[in-house]
Chains A and B, each alone.
Chain A
Amino acid sequence: NAGVTQTPKFRVLKTGQSMTLLCAQDMNHEYMYWYRQDPGMGLRLIHYSVGEGTTAKGEVPDGYNVSRLKKQNFLLGLESAAPSQTSVYFCASSYGTSFNEQFFGPGTRLTVL
């Protein structure tokens, strides 16, 4: 099993450009999450999904959109990238109940110039 995979691993954008980050999991998890990690701030939840076709806002959703058309995939989109979105983005998945651990992907390092 590959677990949670993320594409791409690195990306450099110019301000105003758009891009989509792809997350895929092969564990049949219902719940998927997108986080951003910034120095000294831990991980902050951007959006999450509790099942195929559903999405919800997390702690820092502004400037991002998500879609979950298939259970195994969770896409994070930046429509008009800003330098403040320079960060490391992590996808995670879980069975959903609060006592289950979340499994994390390797991350995508995004730089917006």
Chain B
Amino acid sequence: AQSVTQLDSQVPVFEEAPVELRCNYSSSVSVYLFWYVQYPNQGLQLLLKYLSGSTLVKGINGFEAEFNKSQTSFHLRKPSVHISDTAEYFCAVSDRGSYKLIFGSGTRLLVRP
């Protein structure tokens, strides 16, 4: 069964520094990949998704992610973070043909001034 691993439960970083949030999934079967963000006391909203094509995907708020099939990874990056990026970030995977999302355990990004 598909599973998603987010190794870092919390990532503290200073404002304007770069950040990478790591995500690995278990199955090499064709997949769709997603990153969602959850701001405090809110629901989840989509940051970006990889369906096919270019392995570098750009999303909202300056985030991007790179799909690496050989390493079954989909790491999220931002070159310069803001205080407002403080939130929890979830990686999710959907097997092609399945409408169910499998979520990782989440990474809390804490941006400090």
Contacts and interface: CB of A to CB of B under 8 A. Distances in A.
B61 interface: no
Nearest to A94: B99
Interface residues of A, number: 24
Interface centre among B41, B42, B46, B101 (most CB of A within 10 A): B101
Contacts of B105: 40-42
Given A99-B32, A104-B45, A106-B43, A42 B100 contact: no
B96 interface: yes
Contacts, number: 57
Interface residues of B, number: 27
Contacts of A97: 99
Contact of B90 (A4, A42, A107): A42
A61 interface: no
Given A31-B99, A104-B45, A98 B104 contact: no
Main secondary structure of the interface of B (DSSP, over half): loop
Main secondary structure of the interface of A (DSSP, over half): loop
Interface stretch (A11-19, A43-51, A68-76): A43-51
B99 A106 contact: no
Nearest to B6: A42
B11 interface: no
Contact of B43 (A4, A40, A44): A4
Interface of A: 4, 31, 40-45, 48, 50, 58, 90, 92, 94, 96-99, 101-102, 104-107
7 contacts: A4-B43, A40-B9, A40-B106, A42-B103, A90-B44, A99-B51, A99-B94
